[in-house]
Amino acid sequence: MAASFFPFPNLAILVAFSSSLVLVAFAGNLYQDFDITWGDGRGKMDNNGKVLTLSLDKASGSGFQSKNEYLFGKIDMQVKLVPGNSAGTVTAYYLRSEGSTWDEIDFEFLGNLSGDPYIVHTNIFSQGKGNREQQFYMWFDPTADFHTYSILWNPQHIVFYVDGTPIREFKNFESIGVPYPKNRPMRIYSSLWNAENWATRGGLVKTDWSQAPFTASYRSFNADQACVWSSGSSSCSSNSNKNSNNSSSVLLSQELDSTGQERLKWVQKNYMIYNYCSDTKRFPQGLPPECTAAKTS
């Protein structure tokens, strides 16, 4: 798990694609897509692989990762977050590449006291550098039912979605020297772990272990528009001539339409609670260049 400015480890939902995108079909059975990698039995597959749960108690959290690596595309995962008093816990869902100069796209959900809103934290790393945090409240209770968290990732931009509504867009500004994740395939990871030293109100609210075990649930993973990276090549490239007109190829250049732009503005106006591009105290020498460029693009 990578540290970010807050220092929120990672969460992100994502997808993959390559120079010529092709449709890759995935079944709804999570056994086929993910391995539970740690937690000593605290991560479980239920209902014949249709639901995956991660649990946290005082001894340990748990986590899983995707069997495949991806490069570009769009993915969805439905998540039901830890209910009740979840203060001190973090449910992280993220995409990350290997190596010391890794790329990463994060969704991170910071636990809360009962009745307080969850904080949805997002971050983007490129070439090992992050510090691009935006945080949001949701307009619903994310613990009462499953909701869909998605990422569209193509050479033009990265878009975070909640139930189909865009909440954040990060554009490719390599033209002005801003690194952009586009060359390294990434694997999907998720974890539920204890971060009481910083997660809730900067660590002021500690984990109430009498409420344990804490559990988050996952279902309905969708990577129908995704390309698998294996042995140095993309499954999309090898099949591009056979699938040149499939819907995945549209993702290569897909941008937010006018409706998407309006919904993005609505979320950011009403529910954004932190934006690194507005934090002049943090960047006394000037805001990162993509912040200015995004306003004028």
Residue 108: active-site member = yes
Q: For residues 168 and 256, is the Cβ–Cβ distance under 8 A?
A: no
Q: What whole-number distance in Å separates Cα of residue 73 and Cα of residue 71?
A: 7
Phi, psi of 124 (to 5 degrees): -135, 125
Look at the block and give the residue holding tokens 């949001």: 136
With 0-12 CB in 10 A as exposed, 13-18 as middle and 19+ as buried, what is 116? middle
Q: Which residues contact 241 (CB under 8 A, 6 or more apart)?
A: none
Closest alpha carbon to 106 in 141, 64, 149 = 149
Closest alpha carbon to 224 in 4, 25, 12, 9 = 25
Q: For residues 44 and 105, is the Cβ–Cβ distance under 8 A?
A: no
Report the number of secondary-structure helices (H) and strands (E) in the chain: 4, 15
Q: For residues 104 and 130, is the Cβ–Cβ distance under 8 A?
A: yes
Q: What whole-number distance in Å separates Cα of residue 51 and Cα of residue 215?
A: 12
ω before 284 within 30° of 0 (cis)? no
Assign 232 to helix, strand or coil: coil
Q: Which of 108, 133, 196, 290 is catalytic?
A: 108
Q: Which of 104, 133, 169, 196 is catalytic?
A: 104
Q: For residues 140 and 115, is the Cβ–Cβ distance under 8 A?
A: no
Closest alpha carbon to 167 in 253, 256, 293 = 256
Assign 216 to helix, strand or coil: strand
Residue 255: active-site member = no
* Catalytic annotation, residues: 104, 108
